[in-house]
Amino acid sequence: MPDLDGYMLGSSEAEWRRLREQHRLWRPHLLDTLSRLHLRPGDHVLDAGCGVGTMLPDLARVVGESGRVVGVELDAPSAVAARSAATEHPNVMVLEGDLREVPLGGPYDLIISRWVFSFLGEPEATLAHLTEALRPGGLLLVIDYIHDPCRAYPEHPAIQRVILAYRQLYADRGGDLFIAGRLPQHFVEAGLELAEVDPCSLAGPPGSPAWRWIERFLFQHLDTLTESGLLSAQERADFVAAWASLVATPGAVIFTPTVVSVVGRRPTPGPERPHPPEMG
């Protein structure tokens, strides 16, 4: 069963800083996607699993004063932080609750859920709940992982060991770091028209934004791995030593996991808003 007791990665200040840094890295990619999907002034948007509200100001700016942005967040302290992140935007409201169960309001022109489905386990009921909150012709954008090709070169077994342990941690708590590969089929089964599947992976040397993103994640949750019995003290020490050696290796590079944007459209019998480009 999925872990319903809270956000697996915790709601510490350190995790919040990580989420904000993560947003800065992926913001250009997000803004490109929103522009391709024709998000526009006056639109109503739901951010499902909004975390500390990293996306809310950007969404609020695009939809403008005539639009509306609603965030839903399970973790109470994160919901409070999300409200603070959006204080300058009166058109933003943050609800505390489980996006799988709470009444979501709507209908929405766009529902976006980034880095949430990988925590949720089987997505069928969640997709049905979100789809119901879309207006006919409205779009669902789920951004999540196919965890390949997360890998550091030159390869070291102690580093790969930690990456595998994280995948197992998600799986043990009912999540799936490869969920994005299965989403297109689930979208179609939920009655959505599949509009776009857009994969993106980054790479970089030590100190680059892509490197720092992966480095921060791998180090930040080592305690969770050891406490869960997924990494021994020796394996942890080997990892720390291997990482130090990697950082000092000329030509070292890291490839991030693939972040996939999956877009579905709720069918409409009438005239539609402009379509995002068809898959091809």
Ligand X SMILES: C[S@@+](CC[C@H](N)C(=O)[O-])C[C@H]1O[C@@H](n2cnc3c(N)ncnc32)[C@H](O)[C@@H]1O
Contacts to ligand X by CB under 6 A = 7, 19, 23, 49-51, 54-55, 72-75, 78, 98-100, 114-116, 119
What is the closest distance, in whole angstroms, from the C-beta atom of residue 203 to ligand X in the complex?
21
Q: Which is nearer to ligand X, 79 or 242 (CB)?
A: 79
Main-chain phi, psi angles of 263, to 5 degrees: -120, 130
Beta bridge partners of 69: 45, 92
Q: Which is nearer to ligand X, 170 or 243 (CB)?
A: 170
Cα 179 to Cα 136: distance, rounded to the nearest angstrom: 25
Contacting residues for 212 by C-beta, under 8 A, at least 6 apart: 21
What is the closest distance, in whole angstroms, from the C-beta atom of residue 161 to ligand X in the complex?
23
Q: Which is nearer to ligand X, 80 or 247 (CB)?
A: 80
What is the closest distance, in whole angstroms, from the C-beta atom of residue 115 to ligand X in the complex?
4
What is the closest distance, in whole angstroms, from the C-beta atom of residue 85 to ligand X in the complex?
10
- The long-range contacts involving 71-74, CB below 8 angstroms and separated by at least 24 positions, are 71/46, 71/47, 71/95, 72/46, 72/47, 72/48, 72/96, 72/97, 72/99, 72/102, 72/104, 73/49, 73/97, 74/6, 74/7, 74/49, 74/98, 74/99
What is the closest distance, in whole angstroms, from the C-beta atom of residue 23 to ligand X in the complex?
5
Q: Which is nearer to ligand X, 74 or 130 (CB)?
A: 74
Q: Give the CB-nearest residue to ligand X.
A: 51
Q: Which is nearer to ligand X, 19 or 162 (CB)?
A: 19
Residue 203's H or E segment, with its range, is strand 203-204
Taking residue 11's Cβ as centre, other Cβ atoms within 10 Å add up to 20
Cα 267 to Cα 136: distance, rounded to the nearest angstrom: 6
Q: How many CA atoms lie within 13 A of 196 on its CB side?
A: 18
What is the closest distance, in whole angstroms, from the C-beta atom of residue 71 to ligand X in the complex?
9
Q: Which is nearer to ligand X, 91 or 118 (CB)?
A: 118
